[in-house]
């Protein structure tokens, strides 16, 4: 029986074989040594019809619990306007390739230019690339930009207040790329400026990486950090939660050289970890050191303003081992997601959603503290996520799960990292508090 | 696709005071952000009404060409049909709404998907186990090389710092090796387009970490000496890496694991039908042989008698060769879900037809066109083949011109000027999902373009004509980079 994805009829096959001058499909592999021909069966189920596929995945889906989400840790349950998925399903976007043929890819090239523009606005930086895989690897790429940018320095410093997922990835990349990676101490939940200064005095530092808000949700004060870095010619790199930048002081205002992070907080589905997309923005000075795709304005033969992939001399398909990075795929469709999100929410909506998240998180925190069974681990300003000690944490956690609530992420044996977005209602928050 | 340029930027449609969003009223009382961390100036994001945004992106989509619009014979990119059912499954709320830090007992369905596709991909490729964590093909390459480096480091074999890469390899191969801190040694191809085993032998030694190969290679030719190459690499103590960019023709025909490859990556967005999305997201799972299993990146999904679990390290923040971390979580899950849907839709029988049909179509096109186009290596190809431009070089019509003329006829161009072995390379890959009718239509147009090149070369050199824009000035874009709307405005003001 012929399969719906495979249009070759036996008549087609016969005609094509004749034109090629062979007798059967087997002869197409005549040069493949007999010893390595695959003659068995794959360990797979039989073909499923569309109805069976639907039932199969409905059943699998039922083995997951959809929970009211108070977890963050880098992935947030923000509101997604319905327009986004509607537009994302346009197959001209969905099924196109990287826009190498600019003449038939102006849709992709325009939205990538918009994405770069919006990310530059949010971070305050001069320029942006056309997206990275996601936040942890984007941070690792920034580390490598700093390392490659330095003439002699071989060390990159990272704050202990980075999310542990990011630290794990940084350590791996640093190990193989030959970068010495050292921690800057955290004191009272924030990066120690004194420790940074002391370490910088020892020399050999190419870059310094911090996070805002940090792994505990705390908003850090980076006053003086950039100067400390720049005095010793090190790059200052800030990883930020994108959505929070609508209100927070920008990486540019902290005088950073590179801004990186994940754009998941721009309404992207949590999707059990991906796909998301990362961003990397920088000063103009670092333009030719950036990894990944970049789109720029130009003109066509008819004198029209058009857009095209540019600065490709940095990239692997031209420079091979001398490229700034091995990155080839970007996360174009997720960049489109974020671009439409930012177009819909706009200048005011992004601020409003961030403010509601901020207010809702503070409201929840106040309610929890009132109970006396919960204590803040660090008494520091936070944005929409905070770390608390909870009495009988596991009991509380399990009770919440049973009620269909994910009350946060467990940290150590007794703490809970709780995040709130504009999506959470007062009723949901009060229900969570009621479980204490 | 619309042949008139839409051309607006969303910023140009913005009017202060308009809005396209609605949010619930804030019920939590106002809390003030401390002054030290307040941003001074607002981000200048657009202000539009909802319909303006919808029309804007709809209009942009109409200046784009996807697989759903027409034939996309882009060599090495495997632009096969992206089944619509994949999208339906990947948009089910029972998968999209899962937080990666949910307790494992609440995500058993998602873990089952991950585990099952790990096993399916292992079976399809002949490998012992698979990680789904790498986010893209090049990311898979980097991961695979990290595993190779770890294997040697773990054994105290520290001299092995070199990786052999054929001159026909994708640019990502040497770039990934460089990111992994390895040196690149290039091995030449013979005039038949295959790795030159005689050139390879003297390169082998106790400093070789491994060799990266694509099979079939980027010329679409099967590296038939692979058993010997595998033996040579293993004898010198190296490991053999398989770049899965060209796996498609081998479905139903051969498995990298059986050829002697120790570590492989796959491109789910090529062989396993997930949409390219204008350049991503993809997914680049990595498969390994038995002895590399201990080095697989963390976290990793496995099955126990009590259900599916996530294996992870005690201390995730410390590097060791048992705690290689290349992703935040378990990869691009929703992409993986699409690929799993595709595998189940084909099933064990039809998946074996993919390779032969893709290979048949490529050979058919090659045979039909080799009178008009230069075929430097006239032999059986696999899923793709490479022409070295038009046969008649006297007209001055280049591969670039042919590619642009194809756009006029409603086809995407082939991959051009790659591989670098030929000056006028034109790499054509039809995939198994294109019907003979479509392929015959393409062949006819390729003949017409060859005829145009002979009779009216200027016509072809001036192409395209039926697209929203003409050829672009790449030099201007690179020489005077305008990368954001703010730069664009400043530039316009300066020139006025």
Contacts of A176 in chain B (CB under 8 A): 145-146, 149, 179-181
Position B101 in a domain: yes
Same-domain check for residues A274 and A411 = no
- For residue B388, the number of C-alpha atoms closer than 13 Å in the C-beta half-sphere is 11
Same-domain check for residues B173 and B217 = yes
Domain boundary among B324, B343, B362: B343
Same-domain check for residues B213 and B170 = yes
The length of chain A, given as a count of residues: 436
Same-domain check for residues B170 and B313 = yes
User: What pLDDT, on a 0 to 100 scale, did the predictor assign at position A312?
Assistant: 85
B19, B106, B178 member nearest A401 (Cβ):
B106
Q: Which helix (H) or strand (E) holds B425?
A: strand B425-428
The distance from CA A357 to its chain's CA centroid, rounded to whole angstroms, is 20
Contact check, Cβ <8 Å, A53/B468: no
Same-domain check for residues B105 and B180 = yes
CA nearest B468 in A: which residue? Answer: A103
Contact check, Cβ <8 Å, B364/A245: no
Q: Which domain holds residue B109?
A: 85-343
Position B237 in a domain: yes
ipTM higher than the 0.95 cut: yes
Chain B within 8 Å of A47 (Cβ-Cβ)? yes
Q: Which of B76, B136, B179, B409 to mutate to test the interface with A (most CBs of A within 10 A)?
A: B179
Residue in the block written with tokens 């290689």: B324
User: What pLDDT, on a 0 to 100 scale, did the predictor assign at position A322?
Assistant: 79
Which residues contact residue B451 at a Cβ distance below 8 angstroms, ignoring those fewer than 6 apart?
Answer: none
Same-domain check for residues B106 and B50 = no
Total domain count for chain A?
3
Domain boundary among A283, A316, A340: A340
CA nearest A287 in B: which residue? Answer: B481
Query: Which CATH number do you get for residue A143?
Result: 3.40.640.10
Position A275 in a domain: yes
- CA-wise closest residue to A72 among A249, A270, A244, A255: A270
Chain A within 8 Å of B314 (Cβ-Cβ)? no
Position A14 in a domain: yes
Query: Which CATH number do you get for residue B230?
Result: 3.40.640.10
3-state secondary structure of B456: coil
Same-domain check for residues A228 and A181 = yes
CA nearest A61 in B: which residue? Answer: B94
Buried (b) or exposed (e) across A136-149, using 16+ Cβ within 10 A? bbbbbbbbbbbbeb
B226-264 tens-digit pLDDT: 999 999 999 999 999 999 999 999 999 999 999 999 999
Same-domain check for residues B153 and B267 = yes
Same-domain check for residues B248 and B163 = yes
Chain B within 8 Å of A183 (Cβ-Cβ)? no
Position B74 in a domain: no
A67, A104, A164 member nearest B412 (Cβ):
A104
Same-domain check for residues A170 and A305 = yes
Position A3 in a domain: no
Total domain count for chain B?
2
* A291: its two tokens: 């990894």
Position B209 in a domain: yes
Chain B within 8 Å of A167 (Cβ-Cβ)? yes
Chain A within 8 Å of B408 (Cβ-Cβ)? no
Same-domain check for residues B48 and B91 = no
B11, B61, B120 member nearest A92 (Cβ):
B61
- Beta carbons within 10 angstroms of residue A253's beta carbon: 17
Same-domain check for residues A46 and A86 = no
Q: What is the rounded distance in angstroms from the CA atom of residue A13 to the CA atom of residue A24?
A: 9
Position A248 in a domain: yes
Same-domain check for residues A310 and A224 = yes
Contacts of A316 in chain B (CB under 8 A): 138, 171-172, 174-175
Q: Which of residues 185-214 of B touch A (CB under 8 A)?
A: none
User: What pLDDT, on a 0 to 100 scale, did the predictor assign at position B150?
Assistant: 98
Domain boundary among A291, A322, A340: A340
The length of chain B, given as a count of residues: 496
Contact check, Cβ <8 Å, B77/A334: no
Q: What is the rounded distance in angstroms from the CA atom of residue A292 to the CA atom of residue B328?
A: 19
Same-domain check for residues A355 and A317 = no
Contact check, Cβ <8 Å, A287/B88: no
Same-domain check for residues A291 and A155 = yes
Same-domain check for residues B129 and B231 = yes
Position B167 in a domain: yes
Same-domain check for residues A49 and A97 = no
Chain B within 8 Å of A32 (Cβ-Cβ)? yes
Chain A within 8 Å of B486 (Cβ-Cβ)? yes
Same-domain check for residues A257 and A189 = yes
* A370: its two tokens: 């009132």
Domain boundary among B19, B46, B61: B61
Position B365 in a domain: no
Same-domain check for residues A121 and A205 = yes
Domain boundary among A302, A318, A340: A340
Which residues of chain A, if any, have pLDDT below 50? none
Contacts of B124 in chain A (CB under 8 A): 42, 44
Q: Which of residues 241-300 of A touch B (CB under 8 A)?
A: 245-250, 253, 262, 269-275, 277, 287, 293-300
Position B435 in a domain: no
**Rounded mean pLDDT for each run of 10 residues along chain B, 496 residues in total:** 96 97 96 97 97 98 97 96 98 98 98 98 98 97 98 96 93 93 95 95 97 96 97 98 98 98 98 97 98 98 97 93 96 98 98 98 98 97 98 97 98 94 96 98 98 98 97 95 97 81
Same-domain check for residues B154 and B34 = no
User: What pLDDT, on a 0 to 100 scale, did the predictor assign at position B496?
Assistant: 66
Contacts of B40 in chain A (CB under 8 A): 249, 253
Residue in the block written with tokens 């795929």: A329
Same-domain check for residues B30 and B91 = no
Same-domain check for residues B16 and B102 = no
Q: Which domain holds residue A295?
A: 82-340
Domain boundary among B343, B363, B388: B343
Going by the DSSP 8-state scheme, the letter that residue B433 receives in this structure is T
User: What pLDDT, on a 0 to 100 scale, did the predictor assign at position B495?
Assistant: 76
3-state secondary structure of B64: strand
Q: Is B74 exposed, middle or buried (0-12, 13-18, 19+ CB in 10 A)?
A: buried
Query: Which CATH number do you get for residue A354?
Result: 3.90.1150.10
Position B183 in a domain: yes
Q: What is the rounded distance in angstroms from the CA atom of residue B307 to the CA atom of residue B417?
A: 50
Same-domain check for residues A248 and A316 = yes
Q: Which helix (H) or strand (E) holds A385?
A: strand A385-390
Same-domain check for residues A286 and A395 = no
């Amino acid at each position: 029986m012929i399969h719906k994805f495979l249009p070759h009829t036996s008549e087609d096959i016969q005609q094509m074989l004749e034109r090629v001058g062979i007798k059967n499909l087997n002869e197409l592999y005549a040069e493949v040594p007999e010893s390595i021909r695959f003659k068995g069966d794959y360990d797979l189920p039989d073909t499923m019809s569309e109805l069976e596929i639907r039932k199969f995945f409905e059943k699998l889906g039922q083995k997951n619990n959809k929970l009211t989400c108070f977890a963050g840790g880098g992935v947030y349950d923000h509101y997604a306007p319905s327009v986004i998925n509607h537009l994302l399903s346009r197959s001209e976007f969905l099924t196109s390739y990287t826009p190498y043929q600019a003449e038939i890819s102006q849709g992709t090239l325009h939205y990538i230019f918009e994405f770069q523009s919006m990310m530059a606005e949010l971070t305050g930086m001069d320029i942006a690339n056309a997206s990275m895989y996601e936040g942890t690897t984007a941070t690792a790429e920034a580390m490598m930009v700093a390392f490659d940018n330095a003439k002699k320095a071989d060390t990159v410093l990272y704050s202990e207040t980075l999310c542990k997922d990011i630290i794990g990835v940084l350590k791996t990349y640093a190990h193989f790329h030959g970068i010495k990676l050292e921690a800057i101490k955290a004191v009272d939940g924030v990066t120690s400026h004194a420790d940074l200064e002391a370490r910088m005095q020892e020399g050999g530092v190419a870059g310094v990486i911090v996070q805002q808000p940090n792994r505990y949700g705390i908003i850090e004060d980076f006053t003086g950090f950039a100067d400390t870095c720049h005095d010793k010619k090190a790059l200052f790199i800030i990883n930020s939660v994108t959505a929070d930048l609508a209100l927070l002081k920008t990486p540019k205002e902290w005088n950073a050289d590179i801004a990186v992070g994940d754009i998941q907080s721009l309404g992207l589905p949590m999707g059990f970890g991906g796909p998301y997309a990362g961003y990397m923005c920088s000063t103009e000075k670092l333009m030719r050191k950036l990894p990944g795709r970049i789109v720029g304005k130009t003109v066509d033969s008819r004198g029209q303003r058009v857009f095209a992939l540019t600065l490709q001399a940095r990239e692997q398909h031209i420079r091979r081992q001398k490229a700034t990075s091995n990155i080839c795929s970007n996360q174009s469709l997720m960049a489109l997601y974020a671009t439409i999100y930012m177009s819909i929410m706009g200048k005011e909506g992004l601020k409003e959603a961030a403010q509601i998240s901020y207010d809702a998180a503070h409201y929840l925190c106040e309610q929890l503290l009132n109970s006396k069974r919960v204590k803040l681990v660090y008494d520091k300003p936070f944005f929409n996520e905070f770390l608390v000690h909870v009495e009988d944490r596991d009991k509380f956690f399990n009770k919440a799960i049973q009620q269909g609530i994910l009350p946060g992420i467990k940290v150590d044996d007794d703490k809970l990292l709780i995040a709130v977005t504009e999506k959470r209602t007062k009723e949901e928050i009060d229900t969570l508090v009621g479980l204490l | 696709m619309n042949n008139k340029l839409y051309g607006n930027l969303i910023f140009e449609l913005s009017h202060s005071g308009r809005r396209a969003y609605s949010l619930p009223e804030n019920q939590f009382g106002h809390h003030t952000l401390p002054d030290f961390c307040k941003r001074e100036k607002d981000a200048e994001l657009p202000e539009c009404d909802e319909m303006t945004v919808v029309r804007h992106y709809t209009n942009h989509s109409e200046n784009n060409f996807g697989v759903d619009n027409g034939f996309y014979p882009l060599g090495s990119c495997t632009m096969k049909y992206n089944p619509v059912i994949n999208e339906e499954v990947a948009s089910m709320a029972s998968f999209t709404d899962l937080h990666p830090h949910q307790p494992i007992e609440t995500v058993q369905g998602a873990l089952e998907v991950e585990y099952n596709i790990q096993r399916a991909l292992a079976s399809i490729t002949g490998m012992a186990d698979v990680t789904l964590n790498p986010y893209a093909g090049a990311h898979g390459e980097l991961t695979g090389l990290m595993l190779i480096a770890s294997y040697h480091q773990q054994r105290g074999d520290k001299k092995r710092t070199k990786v052999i890469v054929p001159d026909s390899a994708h640019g990502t191969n040497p770039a990934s090796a460089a990111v992994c801190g390895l040196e690149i040694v290039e091995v030449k191809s013979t005039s038949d387009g295959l790795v030159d085993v005689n050139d390879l032998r003297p390169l082998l030694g106790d400093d070789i970490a491994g060799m990266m190969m694509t099979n079939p290679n980027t010329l679409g030719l099967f590296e038939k000496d692979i058993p010997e190459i595998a033996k040579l690499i293993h004898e010198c103590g190296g490991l053999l890496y398989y770049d899965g960019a060209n796996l498609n023709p081998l479905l139903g025909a051969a498995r990298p694991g059986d050829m002697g490859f120790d570590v492989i990556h796959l491109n789910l967005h090529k062989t396993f039908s997930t949409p390219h999305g204008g350049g991503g997201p993809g997914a680049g799972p990595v498969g390994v042989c038995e002895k590399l299993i201990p080095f697989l990146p963390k976290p990793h999904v496995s099955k126990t008698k009590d259900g599916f679990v996530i294996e992870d390290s005690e201390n995730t923040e410390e590097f060791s060769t048992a705690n290689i971390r290349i992703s935040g979580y378990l990869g691009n899950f929703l992409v993986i879900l699409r690929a799993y849907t595709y595998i189940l839709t084909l099933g064990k029988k039809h998946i074996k037809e993919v390779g032969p049909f893709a290979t048949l179509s490529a050979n058919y096109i090659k045979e039909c066109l080799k009178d008009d186009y230069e075929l430097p290596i006239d032999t059986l190809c696999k899923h793709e083949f490479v022409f070295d431009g038009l046969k008649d070089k006297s007209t001055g019509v280049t591969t670039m011109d042919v590619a642009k003329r194809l756009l006029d006829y409603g086809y995407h161009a082939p991959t051009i000027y790659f591989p670098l072995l030929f000056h006028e390379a034109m790499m054509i890959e039809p995939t198994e999902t294109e019907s003979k009718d479509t392929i015959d239509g393409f062949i006819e147009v390729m003949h017409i373009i060859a005829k145009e090149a002979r009779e009216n070369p200027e016509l072809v050199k001036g192409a395209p004509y039926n697209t929203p824009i003409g050829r672009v000035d790449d030099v201007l874009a690179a020489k005077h980079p305008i990368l954001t709307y703010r730069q664009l405005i400043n530039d316009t003001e300066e020139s006025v």
